[in-house]
Amino acid sequence: MKASPELAAVFVAACRVVARVLAGSSLASQPASAGLEGSLRGATMDMVYGTLRRFGRGDAILARLAHKGVPDPQIRALLLCALYAIESAHYADHVAVDQAVRACDRLRKPVAKRFVNGLLRTYLREREAIGTALAADLVARTMHPDWWIESVRRAYPAVWEAVLAAGNQHPPMGLRVNQHRGSADEYVARLERESMRARALGGGEVVLEAPVSVDRLPGFADGAVSVQDAGAQRAARYLDLADGQYVLDACAAPGGKASQILELAEVELLALDVDPARCERIRQNFQRLGLQGRVEAGDCAETGQWWDGRAFDRILADVPCTASGIARRHPDIKWLRRPGDPARFAAAQLLILEALWRVLAPGGKLLYVTCSVFPEENASVVDAFCALQPAARRLELPGNAPAQLLPGDDNDGFYFALLQK
């Protein structure tokens, strides 16, 4: 346990972010660490992400303790943060309660102090009974919305609980070693010399046992290694790349997969993204890694805006999706997504596939990728596309790898489908 004199400040900063998320704003639109420095920044990020990962449980606890609800959004968020602080055991119980009460003054809501104090102390007295009661509540137990639970349970009846549990974990920190600068095993040994433990996986990916800031990674600044999830690293390897090919990464930002393509083969690459600001991140990645690729801003579904008529040998279509396979990295999406979103994304994904198919050369290959675990965005989209395109032939993935990669200890969740024209 740790008692921090800044916990009240952490509660204040975190509850403001959590309240905005619960009102409908994504974390991406209002970074949890904006304007914060030093230890306060890290502690606030932990508080926000931990509270949102466990929101289903925290909200159920509040419902049992505050029968009339908590009408003030910031006080509700403060209580959720305090419950996370208590249940995470990062802070002593009495410290969490005391600092939550002090946070009311900092929020200029002194009238809420008695309510916050009473509710949290009631929870401390009754938490064993509350925990027993919540064991039968699927939303509280799995910490996912009910429609999400049902979708995963229907799709993966044998492992649905493990899939949901993975969505609540701290995500692994995967590394991609530049193969021109050394092997995964060599880099693991280099990390161990720096007192960082890591494992090399079968495909050459490296997974750290504990995450670190990138400035601690040996060789990061000069392009020896990049941060990239082990599952995401499969995409470039599945493309069947060869020197001399003309390759399109159609939704390329922030540039991890595009960079890996250029590391794997001497190809001519166009990295395309709809957001000009995110295109700059691709360029920065290329510059750090010493790679040469063309970067353009454009909507991949509107080929008339950017295509010059030259067909591509390979296309990576890492399409926008619900991101349900990477929810642990973006815990707000569990509570911001709605039941109709998978179908809405699927309609857009099918349009993207149809557009990109027109710019693929005969004999060329297109890899369809999502970071989703919902079949509506994955197999259903590919099946619908193949039914519309008789010239589309679905190929086995290298090594007969499964199309659906579920989130686990080493990787996030992804879906892959390789199509040949």
Q: Which residues are catalytic?
A: 371
362 by Cβ neighbours in 10 Å (0-12 / 13-18 / 19+) ranks as exposed
Phi-psi domain of 89 (left: phi exceeds 0; alpha: psi -120 through 50; beta: other): left
Residue the block writes with tokens 């922030």: 254
Question: Which of 294-299's residues contact partners 24+ apart within 8 Å by CB, and which partners?
Answer: 294/268, 294/269, 294/270, 295/252, 295/270, 295/271, 296/270, 296/271, 296/272, 297/272, 297/273, 298/272, 298/273, 298/274, 299/274
Q: CA-to-CA distance for 285 and 297, rounded, in angstroms?
A: 16
CA distance 124 to 140: 18
Q: Choose among 73, 97, 103: nearest CA to 9.
A: 103
What string of DSSP letters covers 163-202?
A: HHHHTTSPPPEEEEE-TTT--HHHHHHHHHHTT--EEE-T
Contact present, 299 and 233 (Cβ < 8 Å): no
| Beta bridge mates, 206 | 175, 200
Where helices occur in 66-159 by DSSP H, the ranges are: 73-88, 93-106, 113-134, 138-142, 146-155
* DSSP assignments along 4-68, one per residue: -TTHHHHHHHHHHHHHHHHTT--STTS-TTTT--HHHHHHHHHHHHHHHHTHHHHHHHHHHH-TT
